[in-house]
Amino acid sequence: MANLQSWVQNDYIGPEDFAALLAFPEHFQEEEKILTALVFAAQKRGELSLDLNEDNLEKLFPEEDNDLVHNIITKAEKYKVVTTKLEKPNFLFFSKKENHLFLYKNYITWKKIQQELSRLQQRKIQSKTFKTLDKLPLNQDQKSAIKASLQNSIMVLTGGPGTGKTFTILGMIAVHLANGILPNKIKVAAPTGKAANRLVESLKENGKKFLPNLQEQIEKIESSTIHHLLDWHPTGFYRNKLLPLMDDLVIIDEASMMEASIMLSLLEAIGEKTKLILVGDPNQLPPVGVGPVFEHLVKEGSIPKVTLKENYRSTKKILEASQAVLEGNRKHFWQQVKQIQIEELKDTTDEIVQIEIHNNSDLEKFLQYYHESFIASLTQQKRENLKENPSTKTIEKY
């Protein structure tokens, strides 16, 4: 049998997960503990569930347990610890449709999120005609996103680092202000205070530069953490289904950092006349907690979505430095780092991963994450371009 204690020692599961497994009733088989440990391991990576279709399941457990684990997975739904019916609660839930294994409580959360999304999409919120913002240098994707923000009661805006998400948010706010929405009826929030403050400062700075006629109104727009927006208290949130937000427009930046329970609380608190815009990068680091819900929303495709593809930030030096990290070429790494402007690096770290850079180790860690995020963004862009232009066969090397 697998040594689950070694799974803890090798950081596949956490100590709290191991404690939960030890507390299992005696009648549960060892194989059922291993199956549950796999779900814990997926959860530790930020996943909402264990994808049994996944090719790289091997990343979740030690190599020596390979045969045992795959044997257990093939008969997952037959174990006593698993239920396939919502009306029969158990520790694990197996979704036959998705071929995913969830902690039962997480599946309930995901189903509630889907129900709330359906409710929000069914609302009819009156919007006026799209007004072109000639003073803002917008590309076609950004214009499409702004138009979608007027036409839909809920939407998703995605894009990799440097694709102009913040500038697009400014355009969304501007057209809503121009169409009569008061600034005190617009709320901007993010998972962390740092992200929220950075966003509102950028909005004010660019508003002053490009939209001086709206500057006074933009200055009045409030930003906060999501917890503050929902009025957190020790036992939950004051803003909920019974006391929803009454704003006209709520924009959540860094939505990719939201874990499942917070996303559900947010959706439940959105009133019948409140538009919701979720902004983020699905290739960003997973949230702290359980469930990359934003990534699921993007992949699922049920919510109107616009993806920004054009990259405005000069990323070549950062990308080359991050590539050097992955290749272990420290000489080339430092050659590139010396050429990077600190402001450029700071903006990029803020957008991709919420970490502070204090030393060389932090810098190398960031650049590795940056490389992975940037390449993932380019890959997604190429896939979308191929869908739009099937005849295109050239794949550039980055």
Q: According to CATH, what is the number of the domain 123-313? A: 3.40.50.300
Instruction: Identify the bridge partners of residue 308 per DSSP, sorted by sequence position.
Output: 159
- Residues 147, 112: contact at Cβ < 8 Å? no
Cα 49 from Cα 397, distance rounded (Å) = 34
Cα 365 from Cα 383, distance rounded (Å) = 28
Distance of CA 368 to the CA centre of its chain: 19
What pLDDT does 373 receive?
53
Residue 208, φ and ψ in degrees, nearest 5: -65, -35
Burial-class residue 95 by CB neighbours within 10 Å (0-12, 13-18, 19+). Answer: middle
What pLDDT does 206 receive?
87
Amino acid (one-letter) located at 196? A
What pLDDT does 366 receive?
53
Cα 36 from Cα 21, distance rounded (Å) = 8
Cα 70 from Cα 78, distance rounded (Å) = 14
pLDDT string in tens for the chain (398-residue length)? 567 888 888 888 989 999 999 898 888 889 999 999 999 998 887 788 898 876 667 778 888 888 888 889 888 888 989 999 988 989 999 998 888 999 999 899 999 999 999 999 998 876 666 665 666 788 899 999 999 999 999 999 998 877 889 999 999 999 999 888 999 999 999 999 988 998 999 999 988 888 888 889 999 998 999 999 999 999 889 999 999 999 999 999 999 889 889 999 999 999 999 999 999 987 765 565 666 788 878 877 789 999 998 766 545 555 565 555 556 666 665 665 555 544 444 444 444 444 444 555 555 555 555 555 554 554 555 455 555 454 443 333 32
Orientation of helix 293-300 relative to helix 260-268, angle to 10°: 70
Q: Which helix (H) or strand (E) holds 335?
A: helix 330-337
Beta pairing class for 50-51 and 100-103: antiparallel
Q: Which string of DSSP letters, residue by residue, matches 224-237?
A: EEHHHHTTEETTEE
Cα 107 from Cα 39, distance rounded (Å) = 12
Amino acid (one-letter) located at 165? K
3-state per-residue secondary structure call for 32-93: HHHHHHHHHHHHHCCCCCEECCCCCHHHHCCHHHHHHHHHHHHCHHHCCCEECCCCCCCCEE
Cα 167 from Cα 203, distance rounded (Å) = 7
Cα 7 from Cα 62, distance rounded (Å) = 7
- Residues 126, 75: contact at Cβ < 8 Å? no
- Residues 218, 183: contact at Cβ < 8 Å? yes
Tokens at 350, concatenated = 């803020």
Query: Three-state DSSP class for 169?
Result: helix
Residue of 103, 38, 28 lying closest to 69 (CA atoms): 38
| Residue whose token pair is 């993932």 | 376
Q: Which CATH number fits domain 1-111: 3.40.50.1000, 3.40.190.10, 1.10.10.1020, 1.20.190.20?
A: 1.10.10.1020
Residue of 120, 114, 87 lying closest to 98 (CA atoms): 114
Number of Cβ within 10 Å of residue 299's Cβ equals: 9
Number of Cβ within 10 Å of residue 149's Cβ equals: 26
Q: Which helix (H) or strand (E) holds 351?
A: helix 342-352
Burial-class residue 52 by CB neighbours within 10 Å (0-12, 13-18, 19+). Answer: middle
Cα 7 from Cα 328, distance rounded (Å) = 28
Tokens at 215, concatenated = 């500057």
Beta pairing class for 82-83 and 305-308: unpaired
Cα 373 from Cα 319, distance rounded (Å) = 10
Amino acid (one-letter) located at 77? E
Burial-class residue 365 by CB neighbours within 10 Å (0-12, 13-18, 19+). Answer: middle
What pLDDT does 324 receive?
59
The domain ranges of the chain are 1-111, 123-313
